[in-house]
Amino acid sequence: MKIWIDGQLVDKSEAKISVFDHGVLYGDGVFEGIRIYDGCIYRLEQHLDRLWSSAKYIKLTIPMTQEEMTRAIIETVRANGLRDGYIRLGVTRGIGDLGLNPNNCPSPTVFIIADQIRLFPQELYDNGIEVISAAVQRQPVSALNPRVKSCNYLNNILARIEANNAGAHEAIILDLRGFVVECTADNIFVVRRGVLTTPPVYLGALRGITRDAVIEIAREQGREVREEPFTLYEVYDADEVFVTGTAAELVPVVKVDGRTIGEGKPGPIFRHLLEEFRRRAPRDGVMIDS
Ligand code: PMP
């Protein structure tokens, strides 16, 4: 496997980051996870826009343009002979001293990994997953805004540990007032009487690329989609619940905190949306051959 790091494609065994990199010392950096569908880098522009927005928030200057980044990504995907896969992009503050001051880190580290995708088992799409609500809460937007896809994922990891302990696949994270925000690595939608609702990003949810695509598809299918706050009450009471994310695409949720959702099996709206999402994905992005 070839990894792109700071302008060079190197062997996986040589793709290393210094222990003085503030990405390692302080989680000071930002990242993206992107799918490749049949030679198409899914919504690359949106992913790069989000990466640049995340970097701006932490006052990190990415040392290349989006065009240069696009070329580097295509080069990496081609070098690994991938037509389907998963890309991980990372930009860290770079090498500094042991203090946290970013001013002492003169050049950011940029890396691109293009790997096989580990798909979720088909069984999860057919039968749905069980999720729990986590005790750990979403940090307020006045702290590190969770819209930033930063290398500080410990809050999400703590929620994920709760899901693991409960034998669940995902955990719903609530804000300090009890409004549902998102899951540990996915956004969430509830469906009630044909209307889709997902939490607004101002509550502190990542603006998922998959979330955006699902909203677009649902609206084109003539469905009402609301971005408004709701609580666990609306989740338990929903006809359908599903989560969305780059790796997951759309995954149906059939049980939340021990409550069966709807009829306890994936619902028709979820199935229509997943089918349409998958139909569009291989043409919705940057082709590696062009
Ligand atoms: N929320 C969080 C916290 C995430 O890390 C992710 C990405 N895995 C998502 C939502 C989904 O975003 P996307 O559809 O862009 O992958």
Q: Encode pLDDT of 236-289 as tens digits.
A: 999 999 999 999 999 999 999 999 999 999 999 999 999 999 999 999 999 999
pLDDT of residue 1: 95
- Phi, psi dihedrals of residue 90, rounded to the nearest 5°: -135, 140
198 CB under 6 A from ligand 1? no
**By C-alpha distance, which of 93, 111, 85 is closest to 152?**
93
Residue-level pLDDT at 204: 95
For the cut 90, the answer to whether the pLDDT of residue 206 exceeds it is: yes
Amino acid at 119: L
Distance 157 CA to ligand 1 centre (A): 13
Average pLDDT over residues 6-28: 98
Distance 253 CA to ligand 1 centre (A): 16
Identify the pLDDT of residue 250: 98
Structure tokens at 57: 């928030």
pLDDT at 290: 74
Distance (Å, rounded) from C-alpha 242 to C-alpha 275? 14
Query: Which amino acid makes up residue 187?
Result: N
In which band, very low, low, confident or very high, does the pLDDT at 118 lie, cut at 50, 70 and 90? confident
Using the predicted structure, report yes or no on whether residue 94 has a pLDDT greater than 90: yes
- What's the pLDDT at 242? 98
Q: Which of 12, 149, 255, 265 is catalytic?
A: 149
Parallel, antiparallel or unpaired: strands 129-133 and 249-256: parallel
Q: What is the largest CA-CA distance in the chain?
A: 57
Q: What is the pLDDT of residues 27-79, one digit of tens each?
A: 999 999 999 999 999 999 999 999 999 999 999 999 999 999 999 999 999 99
Give the residue among 224, 228, 235 at the shortest CA–CA distance from 203. Answer: 228
CB atoms within 10 A of CB 158: 16
Average pLDDT, the chain: 97
Q: Whose CA is nearest to atom 13 of ligand 1?
A: 208
Output the residue whose Cα is nearest ligand 1's atom 4. Answer: 185
Residue 119 reports pLDDT greater than 90: no
Percent of the chain with pLDDT over 90: 99
- Note the pTM of the prediction, 2 decimals: 0.97
Which residue minimizes the CA distance to atom 9 of ligand 1?
186
Interstrand relation of 129-133 and 170-174 (parallel, antiparallel or unpaired): parallel
According to DSSP, residue 21 is labeled: B
Rounded to the nearest angstrom, the distance between the alpha carbon of 209 and the centre of ligand 1 is 7
Please list the residues that pair with 174 across neighbouring strands: 180
Hey, what domains does the chain have and what are their CATH numbers? 2-115 (3.30.470.10), 122-282 (3.20.10.10)
Which residue among 246, 249, 274 has the greatest number of ligand 1 atoms within 8 angstroms of its CB, and so is best to mutate? Answer: 246
DSSP 17: -
Q: What percent of the chain has pLDDT over 70?
A: 100
> Rounded to whole angstroms, how far apart are CA atoms 145 and 130?
27
- DSSP-derived pairing of the beta strands 40-42 and 285-287: antiparallel
Rounded CA gap, 93 and 90, in Å? Answer: 10
Residue 19 has pLDDT above 80, yes or no: yes
**CA 183 to centroid of ligand 1, rounded, Å:** 8
The structure tokens 């979403």 sit at 138
Q: Which atom of ligand 1 is nearest to the CA of 156?
A: 3
Distance (Å, rounded) from C-alpha 247 to C-alpha 270? 16
Query: Is 12 a catalytic site residue?
Result: no
CA dist 105 and 102 (Å) reads 5
